[in-house]
């Protein structure tokens, strides 16, 4: 068994039903857990010598609203790809087939220096607004990571001591990493010479996404003896 497979087996045996799913892909271990069990599992992953994940490398959010729907063809042009590029996607069908209650997830990347292993935890942020417990009392490095996920995705981290925006400006509207956030934003900023100050106004730019580039066969890139068909 590989080192990753050994870790996956150990996680399954230790936590049992608390682990909803375990995957070993590309030599890495990923686990799904419920938000209600996050603190309990995280604490044991840190304190249990068999795991010793003393370092939280990163926390990031994920928006699955268009998961399995966003089609980007590389071999031939498609009607769906073209329509998404030049038409407004206000129809409900565009927003994906992923379960609504599992739209937002939080990913935790853990590192054990002692055991030289890595582990990825995923939990879904449920409710509106989406919420998960803060792990700042388990790993203090989560502080700014959670603030970034809050700013970019609008995910609330319950128990965070200072949950406020960290990357966007004061008065910013929306969450830029959500799939339904317009590419041009909601508000634009400019300097008003008459008022002699910066003013904020609704965006007047009409967003337009170009059709994705299509990879086609080209005789210039064929190897010797290959057919262009």
pLDDT mean by block of 10 residues, the chain; 229 residues = 92 94 92 95 95 96 78 50 43 44 92 95 93 96 96 96 90 87 81 90 72 61 57
Please name which of 46, 64, 52, 12 lies closest in space to residue 135, comparing C-alpha atoms: 46
pLDDT for 210 equals 59
pLDDT for 201 equals 85
Rounded Cα distance between 110 and 120, Å, is: 6
pLDDT for 216 equals 61
172 three-state secondary structure = coil
Q: Hey, where are the domains in the chain?
A: 1-64+103-174, 65-101+182-229
CB 119 within 8 A of CB 53: yes
Rounded Cα distance between 155 and 228, Å, is: 50
Q: Report pTM.
A: 0.75
How would you class 106 by CB atoms within 10 Å of its CB: exposed for 0-12, middle for 13-18, buried for 19 or more? buried
pLDDT for 65 equals 85
pLDDT for 93 equals 38
Please name which of 11, 184, 193 lies closest in space to residue 110, comparing C-alpha atoms: 11
What percent of the residues of the chain are helix, what percent strand, and what percent coil, each to the nearest 5?
Answer: 25, 25, 50
pLDDT for 102 equals 85
pLDDT for 86 equals 41
**What distances in angstroms separate CA 2 from CA 27, 150, 192, one per listed residue?**
8, 36, 63
CATH of 1-64+103-174, one of 2.60.120.590, 3.30.460.80, 3.50.50.60, 3.40.50.300: 3.30.460.80
């Amino acid at each position: 068994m590989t080192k990753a497979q050994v870790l996956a087996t150990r996680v399954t045996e230790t936590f049992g039903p608390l682990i909803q799913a375990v995957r070993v892909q590309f030599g890495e271990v990923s686990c799904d857990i419920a938000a209600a069990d996050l603190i309990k599992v995280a604490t044991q992953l840190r304190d249990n010598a068999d795991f010793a994940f003393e370092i939280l490398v990163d926390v990031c959010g994920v928006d699955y609203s268009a998961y399995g729907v966003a089609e980007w063809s590389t071999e031939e042009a498609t009607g769906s790809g073209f329509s998404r590029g030049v038409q407004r996607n206000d129809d409900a069908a565009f927003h994906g087939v992923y379960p609504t209650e599992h739209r937002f997830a939080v990913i935790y990347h853990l590192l054990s220096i002692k055991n030289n292993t890595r582990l990825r935890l995923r939990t879904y942020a449920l409710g509106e607004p989406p919420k998960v417990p803060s792990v700042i009392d388990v790993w203090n490095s989560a502080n700014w990571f959670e603030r970034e996920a809050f700013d970019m995705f609008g995910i609330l981290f319950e128990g965070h001591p200072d949950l406020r925006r960290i990357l966007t400006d004061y008065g910013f509207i929306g969450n830029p990493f959500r799939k339904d956030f317009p590419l041009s934003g909601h508000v634009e900023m400019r300097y008003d010479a008459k008022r002699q100050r910066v003013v904020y106004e609704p965006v007047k730019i009409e967003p337009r996404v170009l059709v994705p580039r299509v990879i086609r066969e080209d005789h210039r890139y064929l190897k010797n003896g290959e057919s262009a068909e």
